[in-house]
Structures are given as C-alpha cells and as structure tokens.
C-alpha cells in the first residue's frame, strides 16, 4: 500500500509536488489546470496544515506568471504594515532614508499570495479592496499612483462568511476574493492520501528507510489534527531518531501510538479485579500481584494487536523471545 506510485515519486525539483490520489485532490489538480490562465482571484480554504500554500504555488506554477510573492497577512500589523504592502518614498517617515518597493509592486505581473487573509486588519482590508478594484495604489509618502497587475490568490483557515457576519471581515472584499474557491479537505477525510504522502515524506527525509506494517496501519488510522504538516513532521522526527532500517511502532510519537493503540492496561486490570483467579483480599484492595499485572499487560497487548506477537512485543518494550517464554510460563504458549 505504501509502494511508490507515479504520484508518490518525488516531483522534479522545479515542480510543486501536490501529492494525493483521493478524488478530492485529483479534482483539485484538474480545477487548478482549468483556472490557471484565468485572471480571477482565487480563494483557498482549508484547515491548518492541509496544503494551502502548496496549492497556491501550484496555481502560480500552472499560470506561467513571473513571480510568486507571499504576503503573510498575520504579520501586517502595527505602524509599518502599510509601508510593507505599498512601499514608501524617501522621507515619508522617520527612518525612511531611501525609496522602498512594497510587496504589491514586487508581485507586478506575478502572483500575489495573501496568506492568512482572515488576519488582515480592517483598515488594510479597505485599502486592499481599492487596489483590487482600481489596480492602483500609492506608496506611503507618494502623490503619484502606480499601476499594478497581479493574480491574487488568498488563503485562510478561518470561516470567512462567519468573519463577515461578525463584522471582522469586509463583505465587499470577501465577494471580490471569493470568485474561484479551492477547498482542501482535512487529511482525515481523504485517508487514501496518507500512504502516498507518507511514502513521499519518507523518501524526502529518509531515503532507504521503510515503514513496518503496524506503523503503516497507525499512520492510516490516526486523525491528524495538524493535517499534512503533522504527518510530515512525524515522519521526519521518526526517521531522525530511528536506528534500524524499518520504522517500528516504538518510533511512533506517543500521541499517535496511544490514540491508535489505546493503552487498555488499566481497563484490563480493573476488569480483572473481579476475576475469580484472584485472592479475595487482593480484589478488595484493588492490588494485584506483579506477575498478574504482567500477565494482563501481555494478554491485552496480544488482543490489541490481534495476536501479532512481534508487534505486541514492541508495544510492551520486550523482545520476542521473552514474550514467548512468558506466554509458555502462563501455559498459553500456543493458544494465542
């Protein structure tokens, strides 16, 4: 399942890798191709880490425009925000000892990527709207307007209609930006993409390493609240600390491991408090002999792994031979 496919293969260095086999990603790639040469604004929506910037770069790549200029709206705050965006003339304010080109002008004949557009302060939203309508702006301290022509691509993980309703985002700007909408579903809603993305990231960060089958299963079953970014970071970290050729479940971060294979030891121990093979006094005090705790831990691990002894041993942090020896001593050597 994690074998290379044409989509998992690393893209040519110049090409933006928008990896995925799910219908949602296939449709997204098709839509990007269809709208590439269109000059209308594009609004990219998706949870954090779903690949909004990757999609923005793909739109730019397909459009054949000159330059891709990322404009991080979450940092456009404070007194310098306007000059960052529009540039300024020498002497416009204290410290402005040369003319400076703003981000908008840099994006002339290219793509202006307004990242985190939902964070743009209302005062700048009004100014941006004017630029989008008039294709003109004035650098701070200038009396002359400049013409700018760029493809506007914006992205946000916020619900912009809701922001409009709450008066935090201008409705007119929202309508202006929301001409072509590209939605990227969260990774948990397109699990088919996990294997192909995981293979891609493993190759990128640790060529030569492989996932063991339980790791493949864990990656597939985990919900990835941080989406593709969390998947990539997890694989990067796992490959950095792994010592073998195979990434085993012991290499998984505990967040993933415990969500996918929940530690049911406590539950097993609690339920066994009423087990008939325990002495009544230990039942009363909720204390079990250590050997009994161990036996329950081992049987629980085998039930979680559905009898897979190698994985159970890994989960328990003991060797396979030790596991076999212990099972034999419980008289369940061949029974599980």
Min separation Cβ 155 and ligand ATP, Å: 6
Residues contacting Mg ion: total by CB under 5 A: 1
Q: Are 162 and 45 in contact (CB under 8 A)?
A: no
Min separation Cβ 57 and ligand ATP, Å: 8
Which positions from 2 to 31 touch ligand ATP by CB under 6 A, shown as an x/- string? ---------------xxxx-----------
Residue 17 interface partner, choices ligand ATP, Mg ion, none, CB cut-off 5-8 Å depending on type? ligand ATP
Distance CA 111, CA 108 (A): 8
Which positions from 206 to 235 touch ligand ATP by CB under 6 A, shown as an x/- string? ----------------------xx--x---
* Tokens read off for 301: 């691990």
Binding ligand ATP (rule: CB under 6 A), the pick from 37, 40, 48, 171 is: 48
Rg (CA), the chain: 28
Give the DSSP H/E element, type plus range, for residue 247. Answer: strand 246-247
Min separation Cβ 169 and ligand ATP, Å: 17
Residues in region 130-189 near ligand ATP by CB under 6 A: 157
In the chain, the N- to C-terminal Cα span, in Å, equals: 28
Residue 49 interface partner, choices ligand ATP, Mg ion, none, CB cut-off 5-8 Å depending on type? ligand ATP
Min separation Cβ 229 and Mg ion, Å: 9
Q: Is the four-CA dihedral 196, 185, 216, 336 of positive or negative sign?
A: negative
Q: Are 154 and 114 in contact (CB under 8 A)?
A: yes
Min separation Cβ 303 and ligand ATP, Å: 35
Residue 265 interface partner, choices Mg ion, ligand ATP, none, CB cut-off 5-8 Å depending on type? none
Using the minimum distance from each CB to ligand ATP, give the nearer residue, 48 or 284.
Answer: 48
Using the minimum distance from each CB to Mg ion, give the nearer residue, 53 or 192.
Answer: 53
3-state secondary structure of 201: helix
Residues contacting ligand ATP: total by CB under 6 A: 16
Q: Does 53 bind Mg ion (CB under 5 A)?
A: yes
Which positions from 116 to 155 touch Mg ion by CB under 5 A, shown as an x/- string? ----------------------------------------
Angle of the 23-35 helix axis to the 52-63 helix axis, nearest 10:
40
Using the minimum distance from each CB to ligand ATP, give the nearer residue, 105 or 232.
Answer: 232
Nearest 5°: CA angle at 242, between 239 and 243? 135
Core vs surface per residue 21-51: b (16+ CB within 10 A) or e: bbebbeebbebbeebbeeeebbbbbbbebbb
Binding ligand ATP (rule: CB under 6 A), the pick from 22, 29, 36, 53 is: 53
Min separation Cβ 34 and ligand ATP, Å: 18
Using the minimum distance from each CB to ligand ATP, give the nearer residue, 174 or 200.
Answer: 200
Using the minimum distance from each CB to ligand ATP, give the nearer residue, 46 or 87.
Answer: 46
Say how many C-beta atoms besides its own lie within 10 A of residue 280's C-beta.
Answer: 7
Q: Are 24 and 190 in contact (CB under 8 A)?
A: yes
Q: Does 51 bind ligand ATP (CB under 6 A)?
A: yes
Q: Are 42 and 104 in contact (CB under 8 A)?
A: no
Distance CA 319, CA 214 (A): 16
**Cα 134 to Cα 131, 146, 147, 261, distances in angstroms:** 5, 10, 9, 57
Binding site for ligand ATP (CB under 6 A): 17-20, 46, 48-54, 157, 228-229, 232
Binding site for Mg ion (CB under 5 A): 53
């Amino acid at each position: 399942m994690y074998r290379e496919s044409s989509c998992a293969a690393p893209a040519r260095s110049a090409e933006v890798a928008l990896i995925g086999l799910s219908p949602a990603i296939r449709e997204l790639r098709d839509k990007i191709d269809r709208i590439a040469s269109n000059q209308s604004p594009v609004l990219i929506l998706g949870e954090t880490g779903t690949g909004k910037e990757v999609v923005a770069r793909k739109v730019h790549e397909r459009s054949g425009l000159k330059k891709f200029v990322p404009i991080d709206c979450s940092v456009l705050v404070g007194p310098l925000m306007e000059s960052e965006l529009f540039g300024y003339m020498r002497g416009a304010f204290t410290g402005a000892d040369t003319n400076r080109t703003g981000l908008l002008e840099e994006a002339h004949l290219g793509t202006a990527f307004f990242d985190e557009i939902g964070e743009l302060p209302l005062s700048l939203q009004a100014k941006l709207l004017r630029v989008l309508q008039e294709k003109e702006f004035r650098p701070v301290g200038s009396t002359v307007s400049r013409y700018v022509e760029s493809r506007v691509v914006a992205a946000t993980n916020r619900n912009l209609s809701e922001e409009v309703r709450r008066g935090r985002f201008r409705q007119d700007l929202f309508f202006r930006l929301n001409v072509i909408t590209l939605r990227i579903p969260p990774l948990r809603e397109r699990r088919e993409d996990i294997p192909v993305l995981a293979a891609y990231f493993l190759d990128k960060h640790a060529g030569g390493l492989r996932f063991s089958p339980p790791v493949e299963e864990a990656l597939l079953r985990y919900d990835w609240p941080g989406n593709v970014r969390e998947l990539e970071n997890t694989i990067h970290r796992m490959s950095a600390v792994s010592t073998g050729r195979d990434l085993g479940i012991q290499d998984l971060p505990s967040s993933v491991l415990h969500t996918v294979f929940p530690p049911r030891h406590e539950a097993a121990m609690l339920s066994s408090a009423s087990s008939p093979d325990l002495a009544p006094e230990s039942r009363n005090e909720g204390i079990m002999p250590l050997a009994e705790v161990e036996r329950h831990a081992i049987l629980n691990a085998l039930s979680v792994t559905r009898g897979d002894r190698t994985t159970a041993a890994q989960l328990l942090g003991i060797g396979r031979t030790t596991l076999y020896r212990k099972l034999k001593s419980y008289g369940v050597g061949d029974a599980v």
